Structure 1
Amino acid sequence: MKVLILCTGNSCRSQMAHGFLQSFDERIEVSSAGTEASGKLSSGAVKAMAEIGIDISGNTSDSVQKYLNDEWDYVITVCGGANEKCPAFIGNVKHRLHMGYDDPSHAEGTPEFVWSEFQRVRDEIKAGFWKLYEEDIKPQL
């Protein structure tokens, strides 16, 4: 089972989703990419995932161009902000899904509030991807 998770910068939401999905089942080959990859991971995303025991610090922020010629069972976009757009993936894909989440790296306010946004979005991504895994992906493995 091959899954590609797409976002704009591939630094935060897609990286968290990548970490969760990979942790759910080692039989899933997970990759993540960005339409405008930043080339680095969000320190807040790395910290939020480490807080719950998932290390994504070794992940890389890659351009979607790297994956255009591959075949995928699922391509999932996670861009949820009103100012962002993830274009449709054009590769050979069996299932295309959109699961939108706020971008905590755009949160403004006190350090405590910004941190709480990383935790909130992390927990929403975990819940959404767990449901997808349980209901759709796991039965196909």
Structure 2
Amino acid sequence: TEPAKQINAKAVKAMKEIGIDISHHTPKMVDQYLNDEWDFVITVCGGAQETCPAFMGKVKHRLHIGFDDPSHAIGTEEFIWSEFIRVRDEIKEAFMKFFNVNIKKLNPKH
């Protein structure tokens, strides 16, 4: 998929609210990672309106966890902001579950 030119300012603000600074991150083409070796590849694209990349190389586990793209939200600024918060919280919950089910059992000390 084609990355944005920069990270959405609302996403930066939403993450900063929970103590995570992504302001220095930059969107990247996924193509540069397609031939790398991975334990897990997790696609997060939303659905029919988005095309997910296909990692066909050295991948032990593939998983799709779809999320709405809050940058596509339409409505008042308040509603759009609430979508960024909702999706942020959904991502956090889904990846905590992923960690507890898939990663923690590999290294129970975490």
Match of 1:125 in 2: 91
Trace 1:30-45 onto structure 2 (pairs within 5 A). 35-45=1-11
Aligned to 1:100, which of 66, 81, 88? 66
TM-score w.r.t. structure 2 length? 0.91
Query: Whose relative contact order is higher, 1 or 2, with alpha carbons under 8 Å and at least 6 apart?
Result: 1
Worse overlay, 103-112 or 62-71: 62-71
Q: Which is richer in strand?
A: 1
1:42 offset after TM fit, Å? Answer: 1.1
Aligned to 1:89, which of 45, 55, 64? 55
Give the CA RMSD over aligned residues.
1.1
Aligned residues: 107
SS for the counterpart of 1:46 is helix
Identity among equivalent positions (%) equals 64
1:81 offset after TM fit, Å? Answer: 3.5
Give me the whole-angstrom Cα distance separating, in 2, the residues matched to 1:64 and 1:111: 30
User: Structure 1: where are the runs of 5+ without partners?
Assistant: 1-34
Contact between 1:49 and 1:56, CA under 8 Å: does it hold in 2?
yes
